C-alpha cells in the first residue's frame, strides 16, 4: 500500500536512484583508493605547473593544493559524510522517537524527569562533551559517532514528546482506551503511525546537521583526520584556499555540489515517504 | 413484541448501572509551582441508575458536565468522589471520608467488554491511519475474541448492521462522510456486544437530515440487542424519542429527572422550561411561548453562584434561591419525578 504510493511519486523515486548512485560511487571509491595518494610524478612533470590544477580531461574536478585528484577525494569523503549523516538520523529516529514517545505517554513525574535529562544534555557545552569522550576513547573516529549521536536525538525526542502529548488528547485514543487497549498498544498502533510525518521531516533535517557537525569536529581535530577527507573538511579546506588572488573555485564547488545534491535527494525521499505513509494522499 | 420484552426486562430488574454522588473535579493550577487554587467542579454530586434495556437521556447545555459524567462512569476520567456500580461489580467507590475501592486495571480492561462509548465528533474519534476494518475490529484483537478471517467476518457483519457496505473494510476514515463515520464509530462500540453504551452526543456534530438516520439506527440497535443507553445530548428534542427517562443537568448537577412522558408533559424546573421552549416548532401558525431565561452566560463551574446554581438566570428566582442550595427530591407523591427547586419544596 505504502510502497505503491511511494512508487507513484517521481521526485522521490528519482531521489532514491540518485542517492543510490552517489552512495555506490562513494563507497567503491573509498574502498579502492588510498586516502593520501597524489598524482604521479610523471604527470606532474608533463603538466609542469604547481597545484591546484583546474578541472581538465584527466582530472575532471581538478586537483587540490597538495596535488590529489579532487574527484577521488570528493567521492571517498562522501562515504564518511554519508555514514555520519545516516547514522545520526538512525540514532535520532530510534532513540529520539522511543524516548520522546515513552515520556509523553507516561506523563507526570516520569515525563518531567525524562525531559529534564534532555534539557541537561541540550544545555551541556557540546565541545566539553566531546573532549570528555575523547579522554576515554583511544580511537577518534568512534568519538565522532558517539558525539554526534548523543546530541542528534535530543530534538527528535522533544518533537515526538510534544506530538504524543497532543495526540493523546485525540478522541480516537480515548476510544482505544475505552475498548480496553493498553498503553503499549496505544503507543504502537495509534500514536506512532500518526507521528510518521514529523519523524521523517525531523530525520531529514538531522542528516545535513550531522554532516556539518562532523566537519566542525574534524576542524578541531576530533573527527576525520588528514589525509582522510569528508565533504565538510573538503569544503572548509577550500574556503581557506579560495581568495581573490587564486580563484580555485572547483575546490569549493564540487564538494558542495555533492553535499547539496544529496540533501536535495534526501528531502525528496523524505517527502515521498511522508506522503506514502499518509492514507489521505491516495488519488 | 419488542416493547413487551423490553418491559419484562425493565420491571423489577436490578439496575444495570448505578451511579451515586459522582463528583469529577479538575484542579486549577496557577503559578510557578502549580499550586492548586481551585477546582472546576465539572460534575458535582450526580446520582442516577439505569435498568437493563432502558435509555436514560442526560441533557444540558455546553459545559454542564454531561459528557464528563459519561466518561467518568466508564473510568476514562478519574473521579473525585462517588461510586459507580455496574451489574454486581464496583467500578469505583470513593468515599468522602477517604476510603476508596478501585477496580484493578486488568479487571477494568475486561469490564470494558460490557460498556462502550460512542463519541460526538465523528472526525476526531477515528484514527486516520487505520482502515475501517482495523478500527472496528481492534476490540476483537485486544480482547482476543477473534483474529484473521474470523475477525474479518465479524467486522463485515457489524458494518452491515450499521448500514454500511462490507466492501468498505479496507478504506480509510477520510473517505467517508460525517454520518458514515458515525456509523463506523457505532460499529466499533458494538463489536464487543456490550450491555451498556454511553452515547456522548452522538448526533450533535451531524447535519439535521443525518441526525434522524443515526437516531433511528441507534434505536433499532437498542431493540435488536437489548442495549442499555446513557444518552447524552444538549437538546431535549433529540432524546425525546429514544429515552425512557430524562435527566436535566445544570452546572454539574441534575436539576430534574422524570420519565420521558412526564418530563415533556409537565416539566417542573424553570431550567427545563427554558430548554423545552428552545426547541424549534415546525409549525408557523403556532406561536411559541418562549420562557425567557434571564440574560447572561452560564456561570463558571469554578465559582458556582451561592444557593441554587441557576438563580442568576432563573425567571422565577426569589430570595431563598440565592441563599439555600435546593436538594433533588421527589415531587410530592410522584416518587419518580425528582426536581431540585425551591418552588416545590
Judged against a pLDDT cut of 50, whether residue B2 lies above it is answered with no
Beta partners for residue B323, in sequence order: none
Residue A184 or A45, more confident:
A184
pLDDT digits (tens, 9 = 90+) for B14-54: 899 999 999 999 988 887 777 888 888 899 889 999 999 99
Question: What Rg, from alpha-carbon coordinates, does chain B have?
Answer: 21
A178/B76 touch (CB, cutoff 8 Å), yes or no: yes
What the block records as the C-alpha cell of B235 is: 437538546
Residue B199 near residue B57, CB atoms below 8 Å? no
pLDDT digits (tens, 9 = 90+) for B262-280: 999 889 999 998 888 878 7
Strand order in the sheet with B245-250: B115-118, B196-200, B228-233, B55-59, B245-250, B253-259, B334-339, B329-331
pLDDT, position A117: 92
- Looking at beta carbons, which residues of chain A come within 8 Å of B182? none
- Looking at beta carbons, which residues of chain A come within 8 Å of B125? 171-172, 174-175
A174/B116 touch (CB, cutoff 8 Å), yes or no: no
For residue A149, CA distances in Å to A90, A92, A206, A213, A283 come to: 9, 7, 10, 11, 38
Residue B268 or A227, more confident:
B268
pLDDT digits (tens, 9 = 90+) for B214-268: 999 999 999 999 999 999 998 888 888 899 999 999 999 999 999 999 999 889 9
Residue A157 or A223, more confident:
A157
The shortest C-alpha distance from A174 to chain B (Å) reads: 7
Q: Which domains does chain A have, with CATH numbers?
A: 2-32+66-275 (1.10.3720.10)
Q: Is B74 on the interface with A (CB under 8 A)?
A: yes
A179/B138 touch (CB, cutoff 8 Å), yes or no: yes
Q: Is B168 on the interface with A (CB under 8 A)?
A: no
pLDDT, position B6: 47
Partner-chain residue, chosen from B121, B142, B172, that has the shortest CB–CB distance to A179: B142
Q: How far apart are CA A273 and CA A283, in angstroms?
A: 16
Identify which of B21-30, B97-106, B218-227, B310-319 has the greatest average pLDDT: B218-227
Residue B222 near residue B243, CB atoms below 8 Å? no
Beta partners for residue B199, in sequence order: B118, B231
Q: Residue B336 contacts by C-beta under 8 Å, 6 or more apart in sequence?
A: B245, B258, B259, B262, B330
Q: Is B144 on the interface with A (CB under 8 A)?
A: no
The CA angle B162-B164-B166, to the nearest 5 degrees, is 115
Residue B289's pLDDT band, with cuts at 50, 70 and 90, is low
A176/B138 touch (CB, cutoff 8 Å), yes or no: yes
Residue of A nearest to B121 (CA): A171
Q: How far apart are CA B294 and CA B300, in angstroms?
A: 16
Amino acid at each position: 500500500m505504502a510502497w505503491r504510493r511511494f512508487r507513484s511519486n517521481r521526485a522521490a523515486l528519482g531521489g532514491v536512484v540518485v542517492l543510490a548512485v552517489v552512495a555506490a560511487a562513494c563507497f567503491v571509491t573509498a574502498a579502492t583508493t588510498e586516502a593520501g595518494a597524489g598524482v604521479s610524478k610523471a604527470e606532474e612533470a608533463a603538466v609542469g605547473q604547481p597545484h591546484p590544477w583546474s578541472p581538465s580531461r584527466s582530472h575532471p574536478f581538478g586537483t587540490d593544493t597538495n596535488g590529489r585528484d579532487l574527484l577521488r577525494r570528493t567521492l571517498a569523503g562522501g562515504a564518511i559524510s554519508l555514514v555520519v549523516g545516516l547514522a545520526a538520523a538512525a540514532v535520532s529516529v530510534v532513540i529520539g522517537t522511543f524516548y520522546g514517545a515513552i515520556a509523553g505517554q507516561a506523563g507526570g513525574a516520569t515525563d518531567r524527569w525524562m525531559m529534564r535529562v534532555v534539557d541537561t544534555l541540550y544545555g551541556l557545552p557540546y565541545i566539553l562533551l566531546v573532549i570528555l569522550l575523547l579522554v576515554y576513547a583511544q580511537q577518534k573516529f568512534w568519538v565522532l559517532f558517539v558525539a554526534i549521536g548523543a546530541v542528534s536525538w535530543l530534538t527528535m525526542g522533544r518533537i515526538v514528546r510534544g506530538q504524543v502529548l497532543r495526540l493523546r488528547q485525540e478522541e480516537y485514543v480515548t476510544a482505544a482506551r475505552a475498548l480496553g487497549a493498553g498503553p503499549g498498544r496505544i503507543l504502537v498502533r495509534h500514536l506512532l503511525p500518526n507521528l510518521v510525518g514529523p519523524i521523517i521531516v525531523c530525520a531529514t533535517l538531522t542528516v545535513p546537521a550531522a554532516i556539518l557537525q562532523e566537519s566542525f569536529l574534524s576542524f578541531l581535530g576530533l573527527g576525520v583526520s588528514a589525509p582522510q577527507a569528508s565533504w565538510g573538511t573538503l569544503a572548509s579546506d577550500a574556503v581557506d584556499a579560495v581568495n581573490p588572488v587564486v580563484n580555485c573555485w572547483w575546490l569549493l564547488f564540487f564538494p558542495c555540489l555533492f553535499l547539496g545534491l544529496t540533501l536535495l535527494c534526501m528531502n525528496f525521499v523524505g517527502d515521498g515517504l511522508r506522503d506514502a505513509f499518509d492514507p489521505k494522499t491516495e488519488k | 413484541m419488542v416493547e413487551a420484552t423490553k418491559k419484562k426486562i425493565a420491571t423489577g430488574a436490578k439496575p444495570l448501572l448505578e451511579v451515586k454522588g459522582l463528583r469529577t473535579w479538575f484542579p486549577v493550577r496557577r503559578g510557578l509551582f502549580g499550586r492548586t487554587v481551585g477546582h472546576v467542579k465539572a460534575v458535582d454530586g450526580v446520582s442516577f441508575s439505569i435498568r437493563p434495556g432502558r435509555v436514560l437521556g442526560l441533557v444540558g447545555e455546553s459545559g454542564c458536565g454531561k459528557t464528563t459524567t459519561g466518561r467518568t462512569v466508564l473510568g476514562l476520567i478519574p473521579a473525585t468522589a462517588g461510586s459507580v456500580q455496574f451489574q454486581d461489580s464496583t467500578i469505583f467507590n470513593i468515599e468522602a471520608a477517604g476510603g476508596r475501592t478501585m477496580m484493578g486495571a486488568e479487571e477494568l480492561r475486561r469490564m470494558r467488554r460490557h460498556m462502550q462509548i460512542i463519541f460526538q465528533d465523528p472526525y476526531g474519534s477515528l484514527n486516520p491511519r487505520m482502515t475501517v476494518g482495523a478500527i472496528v475490529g481492534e476490540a476483537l484483537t485486544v480482547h482476543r475474541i477473534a483474529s484473521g478471517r474470523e475477525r474479518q467476518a465479524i467486522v463485515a457483519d457489524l458494518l452491515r448492521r450499521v448500514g454500511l457496505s462490507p466492501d468498505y473494510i479496507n478504506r480509510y476514515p477520510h473517505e467517508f462522510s460525517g454520518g458514515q463515520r458515525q456509523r463506523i464509530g457505532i460499529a466499533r462500540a458494538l463489536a464487543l456486544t456490550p450491555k451498556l453504551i454511553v452515547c456522548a452526543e452522538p448526533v450533535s456534530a451531524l447535519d439535521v437530515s443525518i441526525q434522524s438516520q443515526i437516531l433511528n439506527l441507534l434505536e433499532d440497535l437498542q431493540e435488536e440487542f437489548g442495549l442499555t443507553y446513557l444518552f447524552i445530548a444538549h437538546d431535549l428534542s433529540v432524546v425525546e424519542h429514544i429515552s425512557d427517562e430524562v435527566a436535566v443537568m445544570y452546572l454539574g448537577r441534575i436539576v430534574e429527572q422524570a420519565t420521558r412522558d412526564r418530563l415533556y408533559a409537565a416539566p417542573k424546573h424553570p431550567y427545563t422550561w427554558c430548554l423545552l421552549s428552545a426547541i424549534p416548532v415546525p409549525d408557523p401558525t403556532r406561536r411559541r411561548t418562549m420562557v425567557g431565561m434571564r440574560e447572561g452566560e452560564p456561570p463558571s463551574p469554578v465559582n458556582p453562584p451561592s444557593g441554587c446554581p441557576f438563580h442568576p438566570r432563573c425567571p422565577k428566582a426569589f430570595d431563598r434561591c440565592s441563599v439555600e442550595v435546593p436538594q433533588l427530591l421527589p415531587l410530592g407523591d410522584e416518587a419518580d419525578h425528582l426536581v431540585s427547586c425551591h418552588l416545590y419544596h
